[in-house]
Amino acid sequence: MAKYLVIVESPAKVKTIKKFLGKNYEVTASNGHVRDLPKSQMGIDFEHDFEPKYITIRGKGEILAKLRKEVKKADRVYLATDPDREGEAISWHLSKALKLDEKADDKKVFRISFNEITKNAVKASLKTPREIDMDLVNAQQAGLALAASFPVSPLSPLYPADLVREYDRDETLAALRAAGQDTGETRELVLLVNEEDRFRLTSAQFIAEHLSLLDWHITVRQLPWEDYLAALAAGEFDLYYGEVRLTADWDLRDLTGTGGALNYGHWSHPDTSRLLQELAGAEDRTAAMRSLCAHLKDQAPILPVCFKSTSVLTQAEAVEGLDPTAAEPFYALGQCVIHLQEP
């Protein structure tokens, strides 16, 4: 008789769902996420398209060992984690940790989801199994990143792709030497970063390590969000790691203009101001953008690393349950809750 394994997130659901499905089904739980980025080392592979490097979460080894035993006994595996972005990512992590993608030839693996714990909903999900939705997984990882050399979204038709070129270590060293940064006297620099975003923190540590060249020694100063903003406003930094989510028609004056709201480094250059103004009123915006980006390339006041396209920004605590994906920013909009303040 065939054996089926259903893996859910919460152990609280196991008994109820098993009662719905009968003796041919084994139901077990992952207890949430089983893998995460490492806290003590670089968790992003910058050499291979910013690929995350995951490890098993401490304490989840025994759970995975139990799941592997159950997988061996099953003819079919159903990943039934929660029907949201986090749940989709957990299913993907389980498929990797349990090597389910390697068992596709001899074991059928499916993703199922249901919005309520009822007999009808659970049984209906088994009739409509599917593959893991990688759009949701990528959204959870904030993984769909595009490299760029200028503070312009690569998704914009104005992005001058022909100005892009690769930068290597030898070129960077040569540029630093030409700028007089090879005197043998160490210069201590502070790189400011918000500690509440692990991707941003590990990126800052990587940047600090690889920019600590010749006369530079860069220390990462990690602060909670409010303290990070206060340090930016007070100018208490030499470098800061920032992130700006750009739309294709975003106004660059906020970031590179004199007195711009996001210009924490107080960058100011008369040509920059002129070119920004020309761009704002240009009929040929492509040519105006090219002139501006060629100028920024020479001046290099800002070094964008990558731009993400899977986030929706809302006021804190105003919207609950919105799960944007790369393909659909307002995925599951009908299920979200909007909290209105009393007038």
Q: What are the counts of helices (DSSP H) followed by strands (DSSP E) for the chain?
A: 11, 15
Gap between the Cα atoms of 316 and 308, Å rounded: 20
| Topology match between the domains 4-141 and 145-308 | no
Place of tokens 């009662």: 19
Instruction: Determine contact, residues 29/81, Cβ cutoff 8 Å.
Output: no
Domain residue limits, the chain: 4-141, 145-308
Q: What is the reported pTM?
A: 0.45
Phi, psi of 168 (to 5 degrees): -120, 170
Gap between the Cα atoms of 290 and 66, Å rounded: 57
| Domain 4-141 top-level CATH class | alpha beta
Q: What CATH number should be reported for the domain whose range is 145-308?
A: 3.10.105.10
Gap between the Cα atoms of 166 and 300, Å rounded: 15
Can you give the pLDDT at residue 18? 92
Gap between the Cα atoms of 284 and 91, Å rounded: 48
* Structure tokens, 165: 């070129």
User: pLDDT means per 10 residues in the chain (343 residues)?
Assistant: 88 90 92 77 54 80 93 92 84 91 71 88 92 77 51 68 62 75 84 81 79 82 88 85 63 81 81 89 87 81 52 57 58 67 49
Instruction: Determine contact, residues 279/177, Cβ cutoff 8 Å.
Output: no
Which residues have CB under 8 Å from 77's CB, separation 6+?
A: 4, 5, 7, 71, 100, 107, 108, 109, 110
Can you give the pLDDT at residue 176? 73
Can you give the pLDDT at residue 225? 83
Can you give the pLDDT at residue 310? 44
Can you give the pLDDT at residue 306? 47
Least Cα distance to 239 among 205, 271, 214, 288 occurs for: 205
| Beta carbons within 10 angstroms of residue 141's beta carbon | 18
